[in-house]
Amino acid sequence: RKEVEQDPGPFNVPEGATVAFNCTYSNSASQSFFWYRQDCRKEPKLLMSVYSSGNEDGRFTAQLNRASQYISLLIRDSKLSDSATYLCVVTSGTYKYIFGTGTRLKVLA
Amino acid sequence: GAGVSQSPSNKVTEKGKDVELRCDPISGHTALYWYRQRLGQGLEFLIYFQGNSAPDKSGLPSDRFSAERTGESVSTLTIQRTQQEDSAVYLCATSLSLAGVWGEQYFGPGTRLTVT
């Protein structure tokens, strides 16, 4: 079983739609959780950290479920500029950051 | 600058030549990582440095790959006798640990290596 698993997509959604991605992780000792965004041929950029109580940043909401070992990302009112690959990242106990292979999102006009 | 920088941004080399890639970390970030990303693939961990501790080299794919970092400064990744399968984007990232909790990683723009 992979340490971090994501649905690769692609998710094709119309502008204005709400879309949600899930990511599961296998190491119950994981402490830190993040969502990154990666545009084509660019480096990953931090989208948001994920906190135990859940957190929101504008149109983006992240949730953590430790009992079921998954994190989620909700994007409301999708924009064309949201089209990218979204990477789930989990720390593996110590210093290792484990990256999912990413979920591709395409927002259609 | 405020972010992680890498050089060169692009490198084309002939099979069998050696290449050296450079990463300048964010000032104060003690941890530095190198990753490889092949086209259309996920990030592959290569090596990790933390201060003056021994690096974790467990991700280096072969002995043709080596990396150095002095203290908390610049790091170089060297690939000897390059092969076509080494063609990829090489990404450097740095992060900070506070009280054993690891914060966000910040990535440089990467070096796109093409071996012909």
Query: What average pLDDT does range B95-106 have in this prediction?
Result: 79
Report yes or no: A14 and A41 within 8 Å, Cβ to Cβ.
no
Q: Report the 10 Å Cβ neighbour count for A17.
A: 15
Tens of pLDDT, residues B39-82: 888 899 999 998 888 899 999 999 999 999 987 889 999 999 99
CA-to-CA distance for B27 and B2, rounded, in angstroms? 8
CA-to-CA distance for B48 and A55, rounded, in angstroms? 29
Report yes or no: A45 and A36 within 8 Å, Cβ to Cβ.
yes
B1 has pLDDT over 60: no
How high is the pLDDT of residue A103? 95
How high is the pLDDT of residue B100? 67
Residues in B closer than 8 angstroms to A41, CB to CB, are 89
Q: DSSP letter at A3? A: S
Residues in B closer than 8 angstroms to A101, CB to CB, are 41-42
CA-to-CA distance for B21 and B96, rounded, in angstroms? 22
> Closest Cα of chain A to B103: distance in Å?
7
Tens of pLDDT, residues A47-96: 999 988 889 999 999 999 999 999 999 999 999 999 999 999 998 767 88
Residues in B closer than 8 angstroms to A99, CB to CB, are 42-43
Residues in A closer than 8 angstroms to B108, CB to CB, are 43
Q: B68, B65, B88, B69: which is closest to B18 by C-alpha?
A: B65
| Backbone φ, ψ for residue B85 (5° rounding) | -70, -5
- Closest Cα in chain A to B96: A95
- Would you call A40 an interface residue with chain B, using a CB distance cutoff of 8 Å? no
CA distances from A71 to A23, A32, A57, B75 (A): 5, 11, 16, 33
How high is the pLDDT of residue A93? 66
Of A49, A89, A95, the CB nearest to B50: A95
- Would you call A43 an interface residue with chain B, using a CB distance cutoff of 8 Å? yes
> Closest Cα of chain A to B75: distance in Å?
18
Report yes or no: B104 and A49 within 8 Å, Cβ to Cβ.
yes
Give the Cα-Cα-Cα angle B30, B61, B37 (nearest 5 degrees): 70
Q: B70, B88, B69: which is closest to B19 by C-alpha?
A: B88
Query: What average pLDDT does range B29-42 have in this prediction?
Result: 92
Burial class (CB in 10 A: 0-12, 13-18, 19+), B55: middle
CB contact under 8 Å between A34 and B104, yes or no, is yes
